[in-house]
Amino acid sequence: MPEENLAAAINESNAPFARFMGAHMTLVTKDRIEGELKVTKDLCTVPDILHGGAIMALADNMGGLGSFLNMPPGASTTTIESKTNFLRGVPIGQMAKAVTTPVNIGATLQLWKTEVFREDGKLAAVVTQTQMIRGAKKG
């Protein structure tokens, strides 16, 4: 399936919470995922900057998607650790842009890094997360 169609298919079938937040994938491959999130009032903290939990949720969704694309058929994935460094706020009205890439793709553990940028290109946050890959359930 061509990559542009894969992003569209992911947006169509994305997790309910990701759709609720407004997460939108713009590029989806096995080794790079790009997404964006419009900073709305509902996703903000005081004083009208993107809530850290929204940043973490976007990154978790994207890292989980990367793991899904890189695990064997019938396996499942779950986040077992996530760490976020917040560097600067993303103001209301802007589009937060995120890029997720693998740090390590192992048979049972995957490590993903998501960088979140403001519209001016400045880095707003870096999220690293560990995904555990669980084998297919038996019968």
Q: What is the pLDDT along the chain (139 residues), one digit of tens a residue?
A: 455 568 999 999 999 999 999 999 999 999 999 999 999 999 999 999 999 999 999 999 999 999 999 999 999 999 999 999 999 999 999 999 999 999 999 999 999 999 999 999 999 999 999 999 998 665 5
Domains of the chain are 3-134 (3.10.129.10)
Residue 89: partners with Cβ closer than 8 Å, 6 or more residues away? 49, 50, 124
Residue 1's pLDDT is what?
Answer: 47
Tell me the whole-structure pTM to 2 decimals. 0.93
What does residue 43 show for φ and ψ, rounded to 5 degrees?
A: -100, 10
In this structure, are residues 105 and 92 in contact, taking their beta carbons and an 8 Å threshold?
A: no
